[in-house]
Amino acid sequence: VPINVGQFTAVQSGSDIVLNWKNPTLEDFAYVRVLRSHLGFPEYITDGAVVYQGTGERLVDIDILESYSPVYYTAFVYDVFGNI
């Protein structure tokens, strides 16, 4: 089972949300998928909109606060075997 991201932050910048995190340092790390919801924190990979998927450690969710406030984010870590 993969280790989750570390130091996950979401900071408002005008109508944007700036997300930052640290990826786990595991040999079998594949990618991070960040989900967004305005209904509450996504608990499962089907609980919101995918706003990022990759190996980076930053995302700017542009102008999201013009449509939804508050918004909630969850980062899911995937390993090369498909474990979440």
List phi, psi (to 5°) of 65.
Answer: -75, -10
For the stretch 35-45, pLDDT in tens is 999 999 999 99
pLDDT for res 14: 97
Query: What's the rounded mean pLDDT across residues 36-57?
Result: 96
Q: For residue 45, give both structure tokens.
A: 């990979």
Q: What is the pLDDT of residue 2?
A: 83
As a whole number, mean pLDDT of residues 39-67 equals 96
Pairing of strands 72-79, 29-37: antiparallel
Per-residue pLDDT at 65: 97
- pLDDT value at 1 more than 80: no
Q: What is the pLDDT of residue 30?
A: 97
DSSP character string of 5-66: PEEEEEEEETTEEEEEEE----TTEEEEEEEEESSS---STTSSEEEEEES-SEEEETTGGG
